[in-house]
Structure 1
Amino acid sequence: MTDKFTVVQDTPTNPENDRMMTMQVSVAPGHVFFCRRVEIPEDVEDSERESYLQLQLEGMSPFPLEHLQFGFCVDNAERYAYIYSGYRRSFDSAEMSDWSKHEVVIPEFSVGVLAGKGEEGSPLLLVSDSSISYFEFDDLSEIPCYFESFPRNTGGDGAVRPASGDLEDVTERLKDRIGEESPRIWNAITNITIEKKKYEFQATEAGKSIAVQVEREVLWNMDLRDPESVEQAKQEEQRNVIIWRVVLAVAAALALLVFGELLWFGERGYLNLREDWNAEQAPIVERIISQQTTINELLSFQDSDLVPFDMLVAIQPFLTDAVWFTKVETNGTNSLKVFANATSNGQVNQFKARLDRFVKIDTVELENIQSRPGGATFTAFIYFKTGSFATRGVIEEVANNG
């Protein structure tokens, strides 16, 4: 199995790195997060992992997921995950409004999570722009087993004071845990460089550079933006890559055509070709736009396996005139979030009881049941069993009430 992230050997800092392509990165202060390393049970499938970790996040925080910005990182063995979340109001609202303009939004302690263990595995203090984070490691995984983060102190003018003073304060606060041991000290670098489809985090220690290379999927998992925003950014990035490939292919073909004409016709033929060039551009542009439209439609179709429609069709037989849906949303891979009305609270409970007997449904949860004149409103989370719906082209029974 290829490692999802690889630590690069320590090398002297190189000013050439400043000339490499970098991502548009926004970092969040480390001290606003709840963090924990959790073990991933062996029976959790890859497709279920994200949902499982979100449940762990919600249980770890006093706030529901709707009020959190969260992310996670899975180790190379896929046995442990480092999960973190922060209360939405803890983040600067002006910075959050700019998150959509960036390619990735991550905690500023990310390089410590990914590369902090190194070869030594001793405790680490990571100095960032707005916080100092402390990590401990063990033999079970390369990601931390313990974490604390402290805000950097600012002067009266709002400027961050030198790190040495903050390090003394943090070391004093951690003295009961650290004892006589001297932790390693890293300085985090905000930039993420791109080289050969690898994304590289960096930090420095005593004049040397520490780097860790990750795949793009790791950054998507660590991204703090809402899942809907992350998915939209993914599709936009894929779309841009395909469009650029098409444009470059067309440009290359046109360049070869022009070069061939130059060789074949010589100078006179080339001048004649240039006279017709402007007239030929209009259909080429139309073809590129047509190709882009086709690509967008293919991507949209590719991202939809029509399973949500199968879910709706499957529960249709359990509806009565006393219960009707006002809105339905997908809630992960195998679940629906249903907003509905009923003529009474009793009809709500009867609707749930009918669904509980359905062999394809794992659980049904009701929330926000409110009595109103003429009936009740409620929200139902319907979780289907994994594998309940076949791929397109497989005909199966849509409802069986057992």
Structure 2
Amino acid sequence: MAQGYSFFCRRVEIPSDVEKDELESFLQLQLESLSPFPLEHLQFGFAIDARRRFAFLYSAYRRSLERSITADWETQEVVIPEFSIGLLAGNSEQKSPLIIEAANSYTYLEYDSLSELPCYFQSIPKTEGESEDGSDNFEFKDVVEKLKKERSVDFIRIWEASSEIMIDKKTLKLRASEGDHQATAEVDRDSLWQMDLRDPEMIERVQLEERRNFLIWRIAIGMAAVIGLLALGEFVWFAEKGYLGLRKGWNEEQAPLVEQIISQKTTINELLSFRESDLIPFDMLLAIEPFRTDAVWFTKVETNGANSLRVLANTTSNGQANQFKARLERFVKIETIELQNIQSRPGGTTFTALLNFKLGAFPNRGGSKEVASNG
């Protein structure tokens, strides 16, 4: 988890006319207007309340995060702030303020009746006592008293956040303790990716790796089941030779299944080899996929030179086509994008997008290491 004191946070209201597929773009625009830094210099995420009326945005200047912490982000299943339990489960019926004591920080949160998300945020680094020069390096009890005085509150709940995250196929679980009481929060996978701090490209690679591992496990289990069935057939054959004819017919029936499993494994290996090949157009298509919403679908994609793609697409309206263009214009790998042949039809709008990528946008093909970017 990322240290809480590195983050700038703000709760923002979501207008009722913002569609679901436009929500992430809207929140990125809000963050751009609030932050002194451009998005490509930030690590950011957000949480949405149950009624989709408010969002809690958090962002950290990339250079403020320790390199030793960010170095292994790509190997982790999820990267979220250490105060996340307070966003998801901190709002009680009493609406009383809360301090999240985590590994690196004390995070103070206040709540109101408008949303279960916090309306006020303050995070203080953990230290060990007051320094000799009298600066604000407080022990925990001093932090509590200081916050009570600053915020004019009489009572503050205190949760000790657990650094362990439990993840299964569909949900993430966070825990915190308040004396003998245990607080738990569950997050579905879609919301989890929204909260994740990593760059969109890194998240895409993690999702691809997750899907690949899932397929490999399914194939391994299938092959183990087939091997087990074959072993059972061998045992029966040794136990009773009269069963030989029946076993032979059974093996012949199972042969297509074995062939299908082997074929699936071969297909996966070919896909992985294809992904690691020098086919840059494939990387171009993967790179723009995160910027496409459900309202835009591609009908044909072809190369238009060494660093260009020509994309024929359909969408529900002209506005969705323009929003797709606007999202791609903020992508750091794109040099230019031009929409052509925009035609409105009864079933929607068709258009052609000419995408020119910057030279060196895919340095991995040249053997160098790609620098992560928010896009």
The offset of 1:108, in angstroms, is 0.5
Q: Which stretch has the larger CA shift, 50-59 or 61-70?
A: 50-59
- 1:102 corresponding residue in structure 2: 76
- 1:55 corresponding residue in structure 2: 29
- Secondary structure at the counterpart of residue 139 of structure 2: helix
Q: Does 1:187 align with 2:160?
A: yes
- 1:89 corresponding residue in structure 2: 63
Q: Does 1:143 align with 2:117?
A: yes
1:187-336 alignment runs, 5 A limit: 187-194=160-167, 197-266=170-239, 287=263, 289-293=265-269, 307=297
Among 89, 94, 102, the residue aligned to 1:120:
94
Structure 1 unmatched runs, 5+:
1-26, 157-164, 274-279, 317-323, 335-356, 369-377
Mapped partners of 1:397, 1:211: distance in 2: 47
Mapped partners of 1:388, 1:170: distance in 2: 60
The amino acid that maps onto 1:174 is L
Mapped partners of 1:398, 1:197: distance in 2: 37
Mapped partners of 1:358, 1:81: distance in 2: 24
The offset of 1:102, in angstroms, is 1.0
Normalized against structure 2, the TM-score is what?
Answer: 0.68
The offset of 1:381, in angstroms, is 6.4
Among 175, 179, 192, the residue aligned to 2:148:
175
C-alpha offsets along residues 240-293 of structure 1, whole Å, 9 cap, x if unaligned? 1122112212211321232244235427799xx9xxxxxx9x989954531424
> Is the contact made by 1:200 and 1:213 (CA closer than 8 Å) also made in structure 2?
yes
In structure 2, the CA distance between the partners of 1:52 and 1:267, relative to structure 1 (3 Å rule), is farther
- Secondary structure at the counterpart of residue 56 of structure 1: helix
C-alpha offsets along residues 71-129 of structure 1, whole Å, 9 cap, x if unaligned? 11111222211110000010001221111121111111011111111333211011011
> Is the contact made by 1:202 and 1:211 (CA closer than 8 Å) also made in structure 2?
yes
Q: Does 1:130 align with 2:104?
A: yes
> Is the contact made by 1:364 and 1:380 (CA closer than 8 Å) also made in structure 2?
no
What count of residue pairs does the alignment treat as equivalent?
314
The amino acid that maps onto 1:126 is I
In structure 2, the CA distance between the partners of 1:125 and 1:359, relative to structure 1 (3 Å rule), is closer
> Is the contact made by 1:188 and 1:204 (CA closer than 8 Å) also made in structure 2?
yes
The offset of 1:185, in angstroms, is 0.3
- 1:29 corresponding residue in structure 2: 3
> Is the contact made by 2:302 and 2:310 (CA closer than 8 Å) also made in structure 1?
no
**4+ residue runs over 4 A deviation:** 267-270, 282-286, 294-313, 324-330, 357-360, 362-365, 378-384, 386-391, 394-399
Q: Does 1:42 align with 2:42?
A: no
The offset of 1:132, in angstroms, is 0.3
- 2:371 corresponding residue in structure 1: none
Mapped partners of 1:389, 1:297: distance in 2: 40
Identity across the alignment (%): 40
Q: Which stretch has the larger CA shift, 303-312 or 237-246?
A: 303-312
Mapped partners of 2:17, 2:203: distance in 1: 27
Note the aligned Cα RMSD (angstroms): 4.8
Normalized against structure 1, the TM-score is what?
Answer: 0.64
In structure 2, the CA distance between the partners of 1:268 and 1:204, relative to structure 1 (3 Å rule), is farther
Q: Which stretch has the larger CA shift, 247-256 or 141-150?
A: 247-256
The amino acid that maps onto 2:90 is G
> Is the contact made by 2:222 and 2:261 (CA closer than 8 Å) also made in structure 1?
no
- Secondary structure at the counterpart of residue 226 of structure 2: helix
In structure 2, the CA distance between the partners of 1:387 and 1:62, relative to structure 1 (3 Å rule), is farther
Mapped partners of 1:153, 1:257: distance in 2: 63
Mapped partners of 1:151, 1:52: distance in 2: 31
> Is the contact made by 2:32 and 2:39 (CA closer than 8 Å) also made in structure 1?
yes
In structure 2, the CA distance between the partners of 1:203 and 1:358, relative to structure 1 (3 Å rule), is closer
Mapped partners of 2:307, 2:272: distance in 1: 30
Mapped partners of 1:125, 1:397: distance in 2: 52
The offset of 1:239, in angstroms, is 1.8
> Is the contact made by 1:73 and 1:221 (CA closer than 8 Å) also made in structure 2?
yes
> Is the contact made by 1:361 and 1:382 (CA closer than 8 Å) also made in structure 2?
no
Mapped partners of 1:311, 1:58: distance in 2: 31
> Is the contact made by 1:364 and 1:381 (CA closer than 8 Å) also made in structure 2?
no
In structure 2, the CA distance between the partners of 1:196 and 1:216, relative to structure 1 (3 Å rule), is closer
